[in-house]
Amino acid sequence: MTVEPQPITEIKTATGWVMALSVGLIILGILAILMPAIASAVFTSALGWVAVISGILQVLQAFQARAVRALGLSLGVGLLYIVAGLYILFNLAKATAGLTLAFGLLFIVEGIFTIIMAFTYRAGRTMSWFVAINGIVTLILGILVINRWPFGSLWLIGFYVGTSLLFSGASLLGAAMTARKEVA
């Protein structure tokens, strides 16, 4: 299987979008690092609202699915989503502690996969070391989250998500700039 080379304009457009996304990730990362408790609360609240809204939509869908005899299950799942979302919204500290544990595990897995990706795919040839550093930092963050859980939950999630966003944005920006330079 051969890969057709992409026209330079398509590559420049694609890398332009990646660079813009990267800058956005960097800005969000810096804001989360500067205000970790607020970032933790905002992130947890957003998940709570997503669950509540998803539950409401599931309940509405349940009544539409009455014709196919799926009312009971769909209604039950929708109500569970609503209850879970409301629990998150009214118990932000406990929900943040649970999310902190989940993010610690996620960062460990993401770090391992990013390190493997850096050496497997050689993103941007000269920038693969930067992707590997991103993976190492993310892996270390995950280990630190697990070690500080649950005591640092109120600020750790915001700080670590911010740090991960900052490094992800920086590594994406570097890879996009290298890819753009290679086609120029």
Domain boundaries, the chain: 9-183
Q: What is the length of the chain?
A: 184
CB 177 within 8 A of CB 130: no
Q: Cα(53)–Cα(49) distance, rounded to whole angstroms?
A: 6
Angle among Cα 136, 137, 141 to the nearest 5 degrees reads 120
- pLDDT for the residue numbered 6: 63
Digitized pLDDT (tens) for each residue of the chain, 184 residues in all: 555 666 777 777 888 888 999 999 999 999 999 999 899 888 899 999 999 999 999 999 888 766 666 677 788 899 999 999 999 999 998 998 888 888 889 989 999 998 988 888 765 566 677 888 989 999 998 898 888 888 777 787 788 789 889 999 998 898 888 887 877 6
Confirm whether pTM is higher than 0.85.
Answer: no
Structure tokens at 46: 């957003």
39-58 pLDDT, tens digit per residue, is 988 889 999 999 999 999 99
